[in-house]
Structure 1
Amino acid sequence: MEANYRSALRGRSTAEFLAKLGIVEEESDETMYWLELISESGLANAELVAPRWKECNELLAIVVSTINTTRKNQKTSKS
């Protein structure tokens, strides 16, 4: 996730930046899914998984907000 975010920051255009942030969004969601499975299956204590899930959810919210703001700014600059 972090490597893709770093890659997004080096995007050569707004479109590339948004595309790469889309990958970050997908991978964040996938990570949350795996953390849920790990917790529900008992492979790891839920108390150990919960803070990591929470952090991932917070990062996902930041990424989604960044995507939405970038799209909004892109529309504004074209007007």
Structure 2
Amino acid sequence: MANILKEKSFDLALNIIQLSKDLQSKSEFVLSKQVLRSGTAVGALVRESQNAESAKDFIHKLSIAQKECDETLYWLELLFRSNYIEKEIFSKLYTDCSEVLKILKSIIITSKQKLNS
């Protein structure tokens, strides 16, 4: 499951980078940097979690990734509703990000259950 998360979070980061480039070409820099920061942090935190020092550290890193992922959804919604991105782009990125978020939540719940048993 971690490999699926690693791949999907990396793909999400690549798509967010492209979105950021597109936004910057339209002279939108502030929101572009916000979505770029949160959208690429998810994959970086997933990678960090693979080298966690303990089960608690693993859960902690994935919990931060979960927060970054949710923040990315916020920025995507804001960009869409403020007409910076088209519905097609928004729908694709929002779906991909939501999927990563669901995987993160599932892994965190399972890891907490294992830790507490």
Q: In structure 1, what is the Cα distance between the partners aligned to 2:110 and 2:79?
A: 33
**What TM-score, normalized to structure 1?**
0.93
Letter in 1 for 2:114: N
| Contiguous gaps of at least 5 residues in structure 2 | 1-41
Please, what is the CA RMSD of the aligned residues? 0.6
Q: How does 1:37-52 map to 2 (within 5 A)?
A: 37-52=78-93
TM-score of the pair, normalised by structure 2: 0.63
Structure 1 residue corresponding to 2:64, chosen from 23, 27, 38: 23
- The list of structure 1 runs, each at least 4 consecutive aligned residues, that deviate by more than 4 angstroms after superposition, is none
Matches of 2:110 and 2:85 in 1, distance apart? Answer: 36
Unaligned runs of 5+ in 1: none
In structure 1, what residue type is equivalent to 2:95? K
Q: Could you tell me the percent identity over the aligned residues?
A: 33
Aligned counterparts of 2:91 and 2:77: Cα–Cα separation in 1: 9
